[in-house]
Amino acid sequence: MIKHIVMWRLRDEAHGNDLQTNAYMIQKKLMALQGIIPGIIAIEVGIDFSRSEGSGDVVLYSEFQDREALAAYQLHPEHQALIPFIVGASQERRVVDYEV
């Protein structure tokens, strides 16, 4: 199994929305991918409430059957359609992919 974790720090304003609105929009868009893209075992999207110096604003935790499923997810048109919105709303992105 592959675990794919992504954390974003968002811009205070983007796409005509404030940070919190964009965080909820990203959460909704990512959660909608479950059941659409094969190979996703689990997907969870959290929005930070601490607003501390070191925290991110949005985190994606997802599990995939294998590396091929993760690669297929990354190239899937539904996932690709989200990228411009997320990139435009974020100022920093960190990712960790690992196998268990």
Domain of residue 39, residue span:
2-99
pLDDT of residue 37: 95
Q: Is 19 in contact with 88 (CB distance < 8 Å)?
A: no
Inter-residue long-range contacts of 11-16, CB under 8 Å, 24+ positions, other chains counted: 11/89, 11/90, 11/91, 14/88, 14/89, 15/85, 15/88, 15/89
pLDDT of residue 18: 98
Neighbours of 57 (CB within 10 A): 22
pLDDT of residue 26: 98
**15-28 residue pLDDT tens:** 999 999 999 999 99
Its pTM stands at: 0.95
Please state the rounded mean pLDDT for residues 71-85: 98
Q: Residue 53 belongs to a domain with what CATH number?
A: 3.30.70.100
pLDDT of residue 55: 95
Count of the separate structural domains present in the chain? 1
